[in-house]
Structure 1
Amino acid sequence: MDLGLKGRRALVTGSSSGIGAGIAEVLADEGATLFVHGRDAQRTEAIAARLRKKNVEVHSVLGDLGSDAGAHSVIKAVLDRLGGVDILVNNAGGSGVHGNPAWFDVSLDTWLNGYSQNVGAIVRLCHAFVPGMQQRGWGRIVNIGSGSGMQPLATIPHYGASKAALNNLTLSLSKALSHTGITVNTISPGAILTPALEAWIRDLARQLNWGDDWATIERRYTTEFFPLPVARIGRVEDIGNMVALIASDRCSYVTGANIRVDCGHASAVN
């Protein structure tokens, strides 16, 4: 489907791997001009090189969006090269910790760093790129959230809290940008098959004696361990397809929404 994104300028943060790379690939397929972003030069350029084979303009940029200096360097690179963006996909972020630490094992510094990565980074980029969108009368801001923003766990509390803040930020910003031609939405993924998740599930499968066949492992995982209405784990293109649709004029009436792409896993209505 042609979503009318050809030539639109898009920055996808955290797109050197995983969900971000999947989003960038779908936007490239739709003909968008892309900035791929990451922290690892080799991985980021590898994704950019792969997407250039689709005969679209692709650039790469490095920087830690959780700091003022890192965000400024990314913003400057994008503005110098493209003059602005039409589509801002805020995917970069994370918990900043390994495993699932208990509530009182997460320090205040980790909380503050998590907010800077998952909320502050978006604020920095919106301050930089929204004025240009307003001048042009068109823009799309798509924030990648998490089910933990609606359904928090007892563990990694700072991550769920920052993602809940992101949902609030999205709705607030959508109201602030009323009548400008800019929409702001959150997409909240469920279980999405990234290399890290696959490695974790295969380790679980060995512990539970599920064998090595991926089809069997995936079916058992989604029916016995992590029950879903569809017996498969989501793919990165499931998120990418939704981002592309929300970024298109076909969804110009959708703003301030939190769109779950989680196969109905979260118990929250929205």
Structure 2
Amino acid sequence: MDTGIAGKRALVTGGSSGLGLAACEALAAEGAEIAIFAREKGRIDTAAEQLRARHGGRVDGFAGDITVQKDVRALAEWMAGTGGVDILVLNTPRPPSPMRPFLEETEDDRWQRACADQLESALFVLRFLTPLMLDKGWGRIIGVTSASIKQPMPRHALSSIFRAGVQVALKHLVEEVAPHGVTVNCIGPATVLTPTFGQFHNLERRVAGTALKRAGTLEEFGGTVAFLASQQAGYITGETLQLDGGMTKGL
């Protein structure tokens, strides 16, 4: 299937590892040009080298902190000067560890850090990067949130509360950017097996809560990103696609 995104410029925040790198892999495999935004230049360089070796094509990156407004503004200026952005994959940091029940989240610092990492950072990216897409007549914004915003999970308050805010922000954009040919969607992953998944979650317990009784793969996550970025998904906007193996029980 020709996804129609060869030559499109894709910016992936948090793209040097985990879900972000999986998104880069899938988009690069479809011929997209990749721009990685992450904190550490060394990890960006390593990821870029890996992507070029596997897929060829243009891969570059910009080092900065997604929670710092001036860094995201500088990213937008860099993107504007290097070809703009056609596909924006908004991937934000995970919540503070360890995960705790809501009533045990008594430390203001953890709430403030979770808000900065997951919600404020997303708002910076959307405010500064979305305008770069509007004159192109085509674009894709894909927010990586969490299945827990539709199916709240124990000990996930610091994730689901602020990621739900990201989903609301994206929903606000849907009609504003539609006249410019830009779609806006979310992916709500749960139990996708990243290299660090076992550090934060009990895999056996999480898998038991899915209908498929297994974890999702990074390839499945990346493939979902590539589909939402594709020409075939051009009539899908304002939606959240739950990538959770059937964990979500509601309609």
Q: Structure 1 length normalisation: TM-score? A: 0.85
State the partner residue of 2:227. 245
Task: Give the secondary structure class of the aligned counterpart of 1:76.
Answer: helix
Distance 2:140 2:106 in 1: 34
Q: Distance in 1 between matches of 2:211 and 2:196?
A: 23
Alpha-carbon separation, structure 1, partners of 2:47 and 2:33: 14
- Of 219, 228, 247, the match for 2:210: 228
Letter in 2 for 1:237: E
Structure 2 counterpart of 1:186? 186
Paired position in structure 2 for 1:254? 236
- CA gap 1:100/1:18 in 2 versus in 1, 3 angstroms: same
1:210-251 CA-partner distances (Å, limit 9, x unpaired): xxxxxxxx8xx37x9624332421111111111111111111
Q: Which string of whole-angstrom CA distances, capped at 9 and with x for unpartnered residues, describes residues 120-153 of structure 1?
A: 2222222222223211111110000101212224
SS at structure 2 position matched to 1:11:
strand
Listed as ranges, the gaps of 5+ residues in structure 1 are 205-217
Is 2:89 the partner of 1:75? Answer: no
Counterpart amino acid of residue 247 in structure 1: A
Deviates more, 1:110-119 or 1:53-62: 110-119
Aligned-residue offset at 1:118: 1.6
- When the two structures are aligned, how many residues end up with a matched partner? 249
Alpha-carbon shift at residue 19 of structure 1 (Å) = 0.9
RMSD: 2.1
Corresponding letter in the other structure for 2:133: M
Q: Which residue of 2 aligns with 1:20?
A: 20
Which runs of 5 or more residues in structure 2 are unaligned?
none
- Residue 14 of structure 1 deviates from its aligned partner by 0.7
1:191, 1:266 → 2: CA distance?
A: 12
Residue by residue over 1:1-36, the C-alpha shift from the partner in whole angstroms, topping out at 9 and shown as x without a partner, is: 320111100001111111111110000000101111
CA contact (8 A) 1:21 1:47 kept: yes
C-alpha separation in 1, matches of 2:199 and 2:93: 20
Task: Name the residue aligned to 1:140.
Answer: 140
CA distance in 1, matches of 2:106, 2:183: 35
- In 2, the alpha carbon distance for the partners of 1:68 and 1:106 equals 27
Q: Distance in 2 between matches of 1:102 and 1:239?
A: 27
Q: Which amino acid aligns with 2:124?
A: R
Label 1:229 to 1:9 Cα distance change in 2 as closer, same or farther (>3 A): same
The residue that corresponds to 2:98 in the other structure is 99
- The percent identity for this pair of structures is 29
Q: Distance in 1 between matches of 2:207 and 2:69?
A: 41
Amino acid of the structure 1 residue aligned with 2:105? D
Name the SS for the 1:141 alignment partner. Answer: strand
Secondary structure of 2:11's aligned partner: strand
Q: Distance in 1 between matches of 2:188 and 2:63?
A: 25
Deviation at 1:106, TM superposition (A): 4.1
8 Å contact kept, 1:152–1:161: no
Distance 1:8 1:167 in 2: 24
Contact 1:239 1:261 in 2 (8 A): yes
| Aligned partner of residue 238 in structure 2, secondary structure | coil
TM-score computed with the length of structure 2 as normaliser: 0.90
Distance 2:133 2:97 in 1: 37
Residues 15, 92 of structure 1: 8 Å contact kept:
no
Partner SS state of residue 259, structure 1: strand
Q: After superposition, where does 1:1-150 map in structure 2 within 5 Å?
A: 1-53=1-53, 54-82=55-83, 84-95=84-95, 97-103=96-102, 104-150=104-150
Task: Decide whether the 8 Å contact of 1:66 with 1:113 is kept in 2.
Answer: no
CA separation of 1:142 and 1:106: change in aligned 2, threshold 3 A: farther
Q: What's the CA shift for 1:78?
A: 2.2
Q: Matched residue of 2:151: which SS?
A: coil
CA–CA distance in structure 1, aligned partners of residues 156 and 136 of structure 2: 40
3-state DSSP class of the match of 1:179? Answer: helix
